Chain A
Amino acid sequence: MNEEKTQEKTSKIDLNRRDMPRQSPEMRRNNFDEVALGYTEELALAEASRCLQCKKPRCVTGCPVEIDIPGFISCITRGDFRAGIKKLKEKNCLPAVSGRVCPQESQCESKCILGNKKAEIAIGRLERFLADWEAGQGKVDLPQKAKPTGKKVAIVGSGPAGLTVAGDLILLGHEVTIFEALHKAGGVLVYGIPEFRLPKAIVQREVDYLKALGVEVFTDFVVGKTRSIDELLEEFDAVFVGTGAGLPWFMNIPGENLNGVYSANEYLTRMNLMKGYKYPRSATPVKKHIKVAVVGGGNVAMDSARTALRMGASESHIVYRRSHTELPARAEEAENAEEEGVIFDVLTLPVAYIGDENGWVREIECIKMQLGEPDASGRRVPVEMPGSNFRMQMDAVVCAIGNSPNPLVPATTPGLDTTKRGTLVADPETGKTTRDRVWAGGDIVTGAATVILAMGAGRKAARAIHEHLTMENR
């Protein structure tokens, strides 16, 4: 019924999905400034007014944190941006982040009814617009906090999961303390995602917002080393573990320990967190590489390949064992990379790295692949083509094939059960682990996934922790 009505309406509505202005590829491949420049007010209004305001909005069902999407969009249409950002922040304490790095095309936007006409509403861009508008006002509204409960919560890790839990629980009146192992809060948002995709000032803004709400943040504090979970439980009523998937995988092929072979974590951390892109104005040294091969096809691989170009590499390759269609990266990121000049060597698998007499990588040996039958994930399995080995000259390799969960917390916490993959065992609805008063969420539970899924898990855990803490009061 509803659908029919909406169908009828589509013939009259605007199917022109507004593009977001971006830096040109020639420009941006030479700087670390943000690629996408954001909607202007006019563009935001035009895009927002295309929204059909469905009675049963399907977009909301595609959002892991259940944002009232038609609600905030109608605020934009009315020009009431302050009400819009307020609506967003009811469900999402990091809109400037998720508006930039969420895979909207496979979540909210994929459900939009206008998708039938390939004109889905640009929800992510509108979300980003509101967050940036608020930041531009210079004055961020602090929501009213609930009456203090006297309960204390420790959050381990300051990535998207931990920040979300902190944001939710502080508003509910609990005392919240975040413990971060690195010297800057933000987790993967500061060490992993590059400046040109997510400016660090934006992450800092979100962290400052939480601090203004009263969240305490201890950096340089490694839970599992500086203090154990058990010690935290003596002082806190509940603990949330959001330590992420921080242990890089390698392929176990010859030459992986040659100099010039990096894990994506190392490569990106050097550039982002340690400000390697400013070297030699910053102290952390980086090498100048001419030809860089990035192994893998996910967002981290795209980030690495695009970073390599910006660091002055004359060639930056993505070496991926399946075909273009199977690339796990967001389509937009793969397109950005291609536009900037990243070369895609698909159906190609590295089998060895060859070094010089000083232990530096000089060549990579690869084998050609072809696609076989689909596997359990539905993707066709790449199969080696015997005798198709060939070599490429490369003076750097970035291994971006994924991470396993960081073992520091599980290894030092008795009774905290893990799966065979090393992830924490946790209730998918509540994040409750096998230890009393300990919850977990994000990549430490799911294995490497997305920022918004970690935020969704954080939201559920926060709800469960709040229930537990207030239950005790009764």
Chain B
Amino acid sequence: MNKVIERSMIVPNMHLLEIESPQIASKVKPGQFVIVRGTDEGERVPLSIADYDAEKGTISIVFMEVGASTSVLARLKAGDEVATCVGPLGNATSIENFGNVMLVGGCYGIGSLYPLAKELKAKGNKITMVLEARSSYLIYWLKRYIPLSEKIITITRDGSMGQKGHVSRLPDVIHNMPERPDRIFVNGCTYLMAHTSEVTKDLGIPVVVNLNPIMIDGTGMCGVCRVTVGGQMKFACVDGPEFMGHDIDWKEFLARRKAYMTEETIFFRRSDAPAHNEGKCAWHE
């Protein structure tokens, strides 16, 4: 069970993990996630699914190495096993022909948008990809997105690829498009999703984000993933993970996301893994 088929670093600190799990592979739909535990002592980490192959019976995850638990995953080799891989959890994205859609991805989100892009394309949507990173060497999977999209826009902090800046350029980008997107999907670290939601607030375009809060069970039991959406308490694991970005209380969500940063760092320092970056998102600190 849960045999590792492949684990490779696709760009610095960003890993692809392919796990054998025929049950999940035959069920999963875009927008869903799994909970993975590297070892028997490990913590339960929710991770978005970046690809799946029902015939081969495998699922793939793209994740960034940020702390103790992901550093365990980042050292897996083909043939190893992970203690837990459970899912598919959360609700699938509701996909229809929206017309023009824009997919904004950063960090692991560049990977987790891939199943969504394929499905949106199959439903006849015209896709504009926006990939955001600190620098050109952190952009990946362009080859996968070229056949799926009308246009790929890259935004890098240092200007080494595409437009210089970050996701706050989005209103400009949209303004210069021949056709406005009818819907925007954002996947990536919390900062990226919060920021995209903020800068698009006045555009009148629905923005769908895929939240990544701390979770334990992922089935509605613990309630640690709660988030305020439109003034109401929601559980990201069973009510989400997708919500309308403009309705989310991002300040609260960011605070909850960071709840254990100190403790994670303490554990990380005690473990064998090399310390780096203290649990923060390397791209959007």
A residues near B (Cβ < 8 Å) are 181-183, 191, 219-222, 225-227, 246-248, 250, 252, 256-259, 262-263, 265-266, 269-270, 273-275, 279-287, 358-360, 406-408
Contact B255 A263 (CB under 8 A): no
Contact A220 B259 (CB under 8 A): no
Chain B residues contacting A259 (CB-CB under 8 Å) are: 255-256, 259
Instruction: Say if the beta carbon of B202 comes within 8 Å of chain A.
Output: no
Chain B residues contacting A263 (CB-CB under 8 Å) are: 222-224
Chain B residues contacting A280 (CB-CB under 8 Å) are: 263, 266-267, 270
Of residues 212 through 229 on chain B, the ones whose CB sits less than 8 Å from some CB of chain A are 216-224, 226-228
Contact B222 A266 (CB under 8 A): yes
Chain A residues contacting B43 (CB-CB under 8 Å) are: 274, 282-285
Q: How far is the CA of A258 from the CA of B41 in the complex (A)?
A: 28
Contact B222 A220 (CB under 8 A): no
Q: A252-B233, A257-B256, A408-B219 are in contact. Are A181 and B86 (CB under 8 A)?
A: yes
Of listed A225, A283, A286, residue having the most chain B CB within 10 A: A283
Q: A220-B86, A359-B255 are in contact. Are A181 and B219 (CB under 8 A)?
A: yes
Instruction: Say if the beta carbon of B128 comes within 8 Å of chain A.
Output: no
Q: Tally of A-B residue pairs with Cβ under 8 A?
A: 125
Q: A246-B221, A257-B228, A266-B222 are in contact. Are A275 and B41 (CB under 8 A)?
A: yes
Nearest Cβ on chain A to B174's Cβ, whole angstroms:
32
Q: A222-B86, A269-B216, A283-B41 are in contact. Are A406 and B221 (CB under 8 A)?
A: yes
The residue on A at minimum CB distance from B42 is A283
Of listed A183, A219, A287, residue having the most chain B CB within 10 A: A183
Chain B residues contacting A360 (CB-CB under 8 Å) are: 255
Contact B85 A220 (CB under 8 A): yes
Contact B44 A225 (CB under 8 A): no
Contact A408 B88 (CB under 8 A): no
Q: How far is the CA of A284 from the CA of B233 in the complex (A)?
A: 25
Q: How far is the CA of A447 from the CA of B23 in the complex (A)?
A: 31
The answer, among B27, B216, B260, for a CB contact under 8 Å with A266, is B216
Q: How far is the CA of A268 from the CA of B228 in the complex (A)?
A: 23
Contact A359 B220 (CB under 8 A): no
Contact A227 B23 (CB under 8 A): yes
Q: How far is the CA of A285 from the CA of B41 in the complex (A)?
A: 12
Contact B221 A285 (CB under 8 A): no
Contact A222 B89 (CB under 8 A): yes
Chain B residues contacting A226 (CB-CB under 8 Å) are: 23-24, 27, 86-88
The answer, among B41, B222, B235, B256, for a CB contact under 8 Å with A282, is B41
Contact B260 A287 (CB under 8 A): yes
Chain B residues contacting A220 (CB-CB under 8 Å) are: 84-86
Of residues 233 through 251 on chain B, the ones whose CB sits less than 8 Å from some CB of chain A are 233, 235, 238, 249, 251
Give 19 CB contacts A-B under 8 Å: A181-B217, A220-B84, A220-B86, A222-B89, A225-B89, A227-B23, A248-B223, A250-B223, A250-B226, A257-B256, A259-B255, A263-B224, A269-B216, A270-B222, A274-B44, A280-B267, A283-B267, A287-B259, A408-B220
Chain B residues contacting A279 (CB-CB under 8 Å) are: 263, 267
Q: How far is the CA of A248 from the CA of B217 in the complex (A)?
A: 13
Extra contacts besides A247-B220, A258-B255, A283-B68 (10): CB < 8 Å:
A247-B221, A247-B223, A250-B223, A257-B227, A262-B224, A263-B224, A266-B223, A274-B216, A284-B44, A285-B264
Contact A221 B86 (CB under 8 A): yes
Contact A285 B260 (CB under 8 A): yes
Q: How far is the CA of A363 from the CA of B88 in the complex (A)?
A: 39
Instruction: Say if the beta carbon of B272 comes within 8 Å of chain A.
Output: no
Instruction: Say if the beta carbon of B47 comes within 8 Å of chain A.
Output: no
Chain A residues contacting B251 (CB-CB under 8 Å) are: 359
The residue on A at minimum CB distance from B265 is A285
Contact A359 B252 (CB under 8 A): yes
Q: How far is the CA of A280 from the CA of B263 in the complex (A)?
A: 8
Chain A residues contacting B266 (CB-CB under 8 Å) are: 280, 285
Instruction: Say if the beta carbon of B83 comes within 8 Å of chain A.
Output: yes
Q: How far is the CA of A250 from the CA of B233 in the complex (A)?
A: 9
Could you say which interface size class chain B belongs to? Answer: 35 or more
Chain A residues contacting B260 (CB-CB under 8 Å) are: 285, 287
Q: How far is the CA of A279 from the CA of B34 in the complex (A)?
A: 24
Q: How far is the CA of A259 from the CA of B261 in the complex (A)?
A: 12
Nearest Cβ on chain A to B135's Cβ, whole angstroms:
30
Instruction: Say if the beta carbon of B37 comes within 8 Å of chain A.
Output: yes
Instruction: Say if the beta carbon of B156 comes within 8 Å of chain A.
Output: no
Q: A275-B41, A283-B69, A285-B43 are in contact. Are A182 and B217 (CB under 8 A)?
A: yes
B residues near A (Cβ < 8 Å) are 23-24, 27, 37, 41-44, 68-69, 83-89, 216-224, 226-228, 233, 235, 238, 249, 251-252, 255-256, 259-260, 263-264, 266-267, 270
Chain B residues contacting A282 (CB-CB under 8 Å) are: 41, 43
Chain B residues contacting A182 (CB-CB under 8 Å) are: 217
The answer, among B221, B233, B255, for a CB contact under 8 Å with A256, is B233
The answer, among B219, B222, B226, for a CB contact under 8 Å with A222, is B219
Q: Which 10 A-B pairs have the closest CB atoms?
A: A359-B255, A285-B263, A220-B86, A266-B222, A263-B223, A246-B221, A285-B260, A283-B43, A284-B43, A248-B223
Contact A248 B221 (CB under 8 A): yes
Contact A183 B263 (CB under 8 A): no
Q: How far is the CA of A220 from the CA of B34 in the complex (A)?
A: 10
Nearest Cβ on chain B to A360's Cβ, whole angstroms:
8
Chain A residues contacting B37 (CB-CB under 8 Å) are: 183
Chain A residues contacting B222 (CB-CB under 8 Å) are: 248, 263, 265-266, 269-270
Chain A residues contacting B44 (CB-CB under 8 Å) are: 183, 274, 284
The residue on A at minimum CB distance from B89 is A225
Q: A182-B217, A270-B216 are in contact. Are A358 and B27 (CB under 8 A)?
A: no
Chain A residues contacting B238 (CB-CB under 8 Å) are: 407-408
Q: How far is the CA of A252 from the CA of B216 in the complex (A)?
A: 22
Chain B residues contacting A273 (CB-CB under 8 Å) are: 216
The answer, among B87, B223, B233, B255, for a CB contact under 8 Å with A265, is B223
Of listed B87, B219, B255, B259, residue having the most chain A CB within 10 A: B219
Nearest Cβ on chain A to B41's Cβ, whole angstroms:
6
Chain B residues contacting A183 (CB-CB under 8 Å) are: 37, 44, 83-84, 86
Contact A286 B263 (CB under 8 A): yes
Nearest Cβ on chain B to A349's Cβ, whole angstroms:
19
Q: How far is the CA of A258 from the CA of B227 in the complex (A)?
A: 10
Nearest Cβ on chain A to B233's Cβ, whole angstroms:
6
Chain A residues contacting B23 (CB-CB under 8 Å) are: 221, 226-227
The residue on A at minimum CB distance from B23 is A226
Of listed A183, A220, A256, residue having the most chain B CB within 10 A: A220
Q: How far is the CA of A247 from the CA of B216 in the complex (A)?
A: 13
Q: How far is the CA of A406 from the CA of B256 in the complex (A)?
A: 24
Nearest Cβ on chain B to A246's Cβ, whole angstroms:
4
The residue on A at minimum CB distance from B220 is A247
